[in-house]
Chains A and B, each alone.
Chain A
Amino acid sequence: MNPQAIIDGLISGSTIGLGAIGLTLTYSILRFANFTHGDFLAWGAYLTLTVAGVLGGLAAGLGAPLTPFSFGWGLPLAVLGGVVLTVALALGLDRVLFGRLRARGADAIIIVMASFGASMALRSLLEFIFTAKPAYFTKALQIAKPLGLGMRATPDQLLVIGLTAVLVLMLHLLVTHSAIGRAMRAVSENPALAGVFGVDVDKVVRVTWIIGASMACLAGVMAGLLVQIRPYMGFDLLLPLFAAAILGGIGSIPGAMLGGLIIGLTEAFAVQIIGAEWRAAISFIILVLVLMLRPQGLFGRKGA
């Protein structure tokens, strides 16, 4: 077995884990399986690309690569803009669609259906605006540096893994140690009761979308930086995202991250055995196994 699979798995697992955080939070707090979440990843990547294009037009120096990375100051700045726009997209969608259905007391499954329709519309809109042709943040080629034990990684890849670790730690502390984190946990336990006890449920909903959409945007940018940007990128990640969220246990941020890493690593190893064309089936198999053996997931409680 080629040890390089460990690095490859950690890298794609970071993206899946970050994406699954938003999914697991909306799932536990808003109580529906959000099929548009994959499209937030893709929109995040394209919005960041657009902002980078605008910035690049304003200041040429922003494009010069920051050694050892393949991108210049333009990208980190653009990501900030991309995150803000992706959050606006998520909040806007909640306002016109999900929030209205919630207010009407619609069944969770009706909201899932609406998210399925919105997902198709969002993805095809990206395809219309940017065409199906892949896009790239940078054209620079990076040489993978040896890490020992026969593993290699580019500086960009190592940055992605490190940044993911920092983000997940910060989010975990936020949810476990802050007032808003307590409020989020209260709402995920019982929204009606939390409201009675003075928790601002609307604020919790907003924070949930803000965290979920920001992480989705970052995950989309990472996937775009390491592979490429395509309108279908989020849709193709949807099954791994769901599998990671369910494997980790709905509502758990460390669980989503760990689920993502497990799926990334399993994919990377399985690709060597059964071939890359079956990659997308891995998350399905993991999903089915989790549902059969431990439907509450690794960090979930029974009856969730």
Chain B
Amino acid sequence: MEILAYAAFFLTVALTYAIMCLGLNVQWGQTGLFNVGIAGFVGIGAYVSAALTTPDVAERIGGFGLPIAVGWLAAMAAGGLLALAVGLLTLRMRSDYLAITTFGIAVALQLVFQNAESLTGGAFGMAFIPRPFAGLQGQAFAFNVINLALTAAVVLVCYLLLEHLLRSPWGRALRAVREDETAAQALGKNPVLLRIQAFALGGVIMALAGAVQAHFIGFIAPGNYLPMMTFQVWAMLIVGGSGNNRGAILGAVLVWAIWALSGALISEVFPADQQARAASLQIVAIGVMLCVILLWRPQGILPEVRSVSRHLGRRNKDR
């Protein structure tokens, strides 16, 4: 029973990463927008939802005790607005300016989480974030399973919605812009507008992932939203297969499993005083894995499904 409860817990966390991965897949996989600030978008979702739903605390502004669903919606709005602002600023320029700007967004938000104590609780973070089905907290198994079901439902809704969108004319236009911007423009599509829409949609989903994760764990702190998180989500999408929503979910579960297992291995093998040091080897391993996959199998485990006629010939050798 204990192991099943842990399995449910593990899968729930993995699925919150799967939501982030789905968000990144809209931005990168479908549109080719390189976002290096995922942690910032996830963090803003978590903090906005937490600020609205936690009970009132004397030392902090916020704490409105609103329902969890309101928190989730507000988180999505915040993530979307942030992505919209970044998109409007950079998406007319060279593609790597977006990378640098999103990196900066994540650094700047990290500072806000850390230092704006009256809003975010500073380094101590925010506790008492209401957890869904809190009434069941006494029974670990039931609590974890029902939360797993809820998170899986969120993943499923995101997945179905995105699949639908990507098969719509809008999704086809996105890929057209990614593949050949000039041709898409000649056909009357507005590349900048399409990119901004896709970037904002991705931001909405990432912020939702942050809110879902924060409410499941019940506690957030600035340390959760380091560049490390951005990096993990990237590894997940590239391993699973960018451009493929099923690949995004598979990659999230797989990389999270590798991460958790290697963490467990390190705590077995290394003495307690060396564990923090050995944990950095985990990051080295994921970094090397990301580079190796980019070199040898850039399409990931589940390659992007061709959505054009197969008579059109080979395309897209880099992804």
Contacts and interface: CB of A to CB of B under 8 A. Distances in A.
Contacts of B219: none
B97 interface: yes
Given A108-B96, A109-B96, A280-B111, A131 B287 contact: no
B37 to A, nearest CB: 11
A118 B286 CA distance: 10
B100 to A, nearest CB: 5
Contact of A292 (B89, B103, B317, B318): B89
Contacts of B231: 116-117, 120
Contact of A284 (B95, B104, B284): B104
Contacts of B277: 127-128, 131-132
B100 A242 contact: yes
B114 interface: yes
Nearest to B105: A284
Contacts of A107: 32, 318
B242 to A, nearest CB: 10
Contact of A121 (B276, B287, B317): B287
B217 interface: no
B114 A291 contact: no
Interface string A132-146: 100000000000000
B249 interface: no
Contact of A97 (B96, B281, B295, B317): B295
Contacts of B298: 106, 110
Nearest to B281: A128
Contacts of B105: 284
- With most chain B CB atoms within 10 A of its CB, the pick from A243, A246, A278 is A278
A238 B294 contact: no
B96 to A, nearest CB: 4
B83 interface: no
A277 B107 CA distance: 12
A295 interface: yes
A169 interface: no
A170 to B, nearest CB: 28
A48 B20 CA distance: 40
Given A116-B231, A117-B290, A292-B89, A128 B101 contact: no
Interface residues of B, number: 44
Contacts of A120: 227-228, 231, 283-284, 286-287, 290
What is the interface residue range for chain A against chain B? 35 or more
Interface string B204-230: 000000000000000000000001100
A277 B117 CA distance: 12
Contact of A239 (B32, B95, B104, B235): B104
A288 B89 contact: yes
A147 interface: no
Contacts of B317: 104-105
Contact of B111 (A32, A35, A281): A281
A30 B87 CA distance: 25
Given A120-B283, A124-B284, A239 B89 contact: no
Nearest to A120: B287
B101 A121 contact: no
A100 interface: yes
Interface in B268-289: 276-278, 280-284, 286-288
Interface string B72-113: 000000000000000001100101110111011101100100
B137 interface: no
Given A114-B294, A117-B231, A277-B111, A124 B97 contact: no
Given A105-B318, A109-B95, A121-B288, 16 more contacts: A35-B103, A106-B298, A113-B238, A116-B99, A116-B231, A118-B291, A120-B227, A120-B286, A122-B287, A124-B282, A124-B283, A127-B277, A132-B276, A243-B104, A281-B111, A284-B104
6 contacts: A33-B100, A35-B36, A104-B318, A109-B32, A117-B234, A291-B101
Interface of A: 32-33, 35, 97, 100-101, 104-110, 112-114, 116-125, 127-128, 131-132, 235, 238-239, 242-243, 246, 277-278, 280-281, 283-284, 287-288, 291-292, 295
